[in-house]
Amino acid sequence: MRVLGVDPGLTRCGLGVVDGGAGRSVRCVDVGVVRTTATLPLERRLLEMGAEVARWIAAHRPAGVALERVLSPHNVRTVMGTAQASGVVALLAARAGLPVAFHTPSEVKAAVTGEGRADKAQVTTMVTKLLGLTEAPRPADAADALALAICHCWRAPMLDRMAQAKSRSDELARAHRARLAAAARLAR
């Protein structure tokens, strides 16, 4: 499964494409960062970032997009920019017919390092090792994008099985409620 991982941001938006294979094997296809100038109007920055993400989607043809779930109660201004960038990426993925999965930073850190509170250096080190890269991806946004893609490659099969189990459970519950309702009608 090929996944485009996106660490959304207005100044730097990390992009990483990973192929997930049998078991937990992963391979880096491409990695980069989209940069926009802080002096540009917001709409121009989003347009530039979106154009590059669209180019990556067309060039790499991923099966899905993994985005970092925006969480930060401290800096509302940063969160707004990140959320806006994330929305543009989700829109572009939807236009391309791709599913989008949102992963929290702690989910990503736990997936690649085994520790949900790992720091950026630990994430970068593990991404470098897991992908067999000769040098660490820079800046950290690039490593974070690859970490998101790896996380999704490893979590997607489990999430799919859980969704299938929930669907089957819901179906069984509906059938059971229907049988109970029919029995109640007969008892009258």
> Looking at the domain assignment, is residue 184 inside a domain?
no
Angstrom distances, CA of residue 48 to CA of 4, 37, 100: 18, 10, 21
User: What pLDDT does residue 162 have?
Assistant: 78
Residue 175 falls inside a structural domain: no
Task: Report residue 109 CA to chain centroid gap.
Answer: 13
Q: Which of 19, 30, 141, 170 is catalytic?
A: 141
| Whether pLDDT at 167 is above 90 | no
Q: Would 36 be classed as within a structural domain?
A: yes
Confidence band for 156, pLDDT divided at 50, 70 and 90: confident
Partners of residue 121 on adjacent β-strands: none
d(CA 152, CA 149): 5
Query: Is residue 186 situated within a structural domain?
Result: no
Helices 105-113, 140-187: axis angle to 10 degrees equals 110
Annotated catalytic residue: which of 68, 144, 160, 171?
68
Strands 64-68 and 100-103: parallel
Query: Each residue of 72-99: pLDDT tens digit?
Result: 667 777 788 899 999 999 999 999 999 9
Residue 178 lies in a domain: no
* CA atoms lying within 13 Å on the CB side of residue 108: 27
Q: Which domain holds residue 47?
A: 2-163
pLDDT one-digit tens code per residue, 4-30: 999 999 999 999 999 999 888 999 999
Token readout for 131 is: 């992908």
What does the pLDDT look like over 38-51, one tens digit per residue? 999 999 999 999 99
Domain CATH number, residue 52: 3.30.420.10
Domain count, the chain: 1
pLDDT of residue 72: 67
What pTM value is reported for the model?
0.85
Residue 119 is among the residues annotated as catalytic for this protein = no
Instruction: Check if the beta carbon of residue 31 is closer than 8 Å to that of residue 56.
Output: no
Please indicate, yes or no, if residue 172 is contained in any of the structural domains.
Answer: no
Domain membership of residue 126 (yes or no) is yes
What do you get for the CA distance between the two ends of the chain, in Å? 55
Taking residues 102-120, report their average pLDDT.
95
Q: Is 30 annotated as catalytic?
A: no
> Has residue 188 been placed in a domain?
no
Of the residues 7, 30, 43, 107, only one is catalytic, namely 7
